[in-house]
Amino acid sequence: MAVGARRAASFPAAIFRSEAALPLGLLAPTVIFLSLLILVPIAQAVLLSFQAADGSFGLDAYKKMFGDTAFADSFRNTILLLVAIVPIQMVLALAMALLIHSRFPGHGVFLYVYAIPLAISDLAAGIVWLSIFTDQGYLNTILTGLGLIKEPLAFLSYENLQWVFTAVVVAESWRATALVLVILLAGLQLIPREYFEAAELFGANRVKRTLLVVLPMLKPSLQSALIIRTIFAFNAFAVVLALAGRQLPVLGYEAYDWYYNNRNNNVAAAFATLILVLTIAATVTYLRLFRVREGELGK
């Protein structure tokens, strides 16, 4: 802190010296670009959401948003998907990360395989699982082949909303676990090997080692994985649309729908603002819940 303060004190003088002007000049394009495409649109979204179509200010857009027949459902579905998907991803990704980290022969190949979905879009993932869950799809083929069911089941029909929901959970868990894996593995690599060896030496078995040594040290990575996954879950859109269509409304879809089909920028902006508020609230909550103390790993 003291160093920072001293540096800040010499700031006005330093900026005119070429040594400080050069880095600031190199950073300027990024700062300007991100401000124009993030900060300005955030302000705009909030502004738009408090305007009516004729430009007058008021709560019109929010009244329409809360009055939307699909609003309660879309809000509930978004939260439920988040609650269902995030824990599954955390467990799966942790299992994958610990496996890879044990450096067994051939772990490189497995890392390659596990990481493939990292580069698959939510839309493509939705379509992949559509081929499995659709009426004449592969899941029904396998289940009838095994003699478990007589007739194909309509997994994606509005009559079986719990199945539609499950299909989305499976598709999202399949796709985005890879991202959590990479974050956790990056965190694991920062833990000095000696910690594992010491724990082993003191006779801690694998489960104990994981719970008592690895997880606490992995807290910063778990935290950032949770934040990223939660933020993306609030924006879930294409995977839901590909699998469930309109049967399972989510906030991201409503924002798209109000903009694209109803041509109402203001209500769409109200949905966008709601998603932004949820994003910020979730991030702050996670930061509070898992306060990473100075000096802990990953700092």
Partner 1 sequence: MTAAAPTLRRRTASRRVVLDRVLLYTVAVVLALWTLIPIYLVALAAFSERSAIYEFPKPLLPTRFSTDTMSFFVNSTGVLPSVRNSIIVAISTIVLGLVIGAPAGYALARFRFPGRDGFQVGVLVSKMFPIAILSIPLAVTFIDLGLYDNLIAVILVHTAMVLPFIVIVTSGVFLAVSRELEEAAQTLGTSRFGAFTRIALPLALPGLAAAAIFSFVTSWNEVFAATILTVRNTTLPAQVLASLNISPLYFRFAGGFFMIIPSLFFIFFMRKYLFNLWGPGR
Q: 136-175: which residues touch partner 1 (CB under 8 A)?
A: 136-138, 140-142, 144-145, 152, 174
Question: Which of 185, 191, 214, 248 is the binder for partner 1 (CB under 8 A)?
Answer: 185
Question: Which of 2, 5, 38, 289 is the binder for partner 1 (CB under 8 A)?
Answer: 38
The yes or no reply on residue 92 touching partner 1 (CB under 8 A) is yes
The yes or no reply on residue 281 touching partner 1 (CB under 8 A) is no
Q: Which listed range, 79-87, 154-162, 196-204, 238-246, lies at the site for partner 1 (CB under 8 A)?
A: 238-246
Least distance between partner 1 and beta carbon 16 (Å)? 12
Q: How far is CA 35 from the centre of its chain?
A: 23
Phi, psi torsion values for 57, nearest 5 degrees? -85, 150
Q: How far is CA 211 from the centre of its chain?
A: 24
> Is 90 within 8 Å of 226 (Cβ atoms)?
yes
- C-alpha distances in angstroms, 250 versus 75, 79, 169, 185, 267? 6, 9, 13, 31, 15
> Is 169 within 8 Å of 239 (Cβ atoms)?
no
* Size of the residue set binding partner 1 (CB under 8 A): 103
Rounded-to-integer distance, Cα 203 and Cα 197, Å: 10
- 116/289 with CB nearer partner 1: 116
- 27/72 with CB nearer partner 1: 27
Interaction with partner 1 in 99-118: which residues (CB under 8 A)?
A: 99, 102, 104, 107, 110-118
Least distance between partner 1 and beta carbon 119 (Å)? 3
Question: Which of 70, 80, 90, 130 is the binder for partner 1 (CB under 8 A)?
Answer: 130
Question: Which of 65, 191, 209, 237 is the binder for partner 1 (CB under 8 A)?
Answer: 237
Going by C-beta distance under 8 Å and a sequence separation of 6 or more, which residues neighbour residue 233?
Answer: 78, 81, 82, 85, 86, 172
Within 10 A of 84 (CB to CB), how many other CB atoms are there? 18
- C-alpha distances in angstroms, 138 versus 114, 155, 287? 22, 12, 42
Least distance between partner 1 and beta carbon 40 (Å)? 8
Interaction with partner 1 in 40-79: which residues (CB under 8 A)?
A: 41-42, 44-45, 47-48
> Under DSSP, is residue 139 helix (H, G, I), strand (E, B) or coil?
helix
Least distance between partner 1 and beta carbon 141 (Å)? 4
Rounded-to-integer distance, Cα 67 and Cα 108, Å: 52
Q: Which listed range, 53-61, 66-74, 194-202, 219-227, lies at the site for partner 1 (CB under 8 A)?
A: 219-227
- 56/136 with CB nearer partner 1: 136
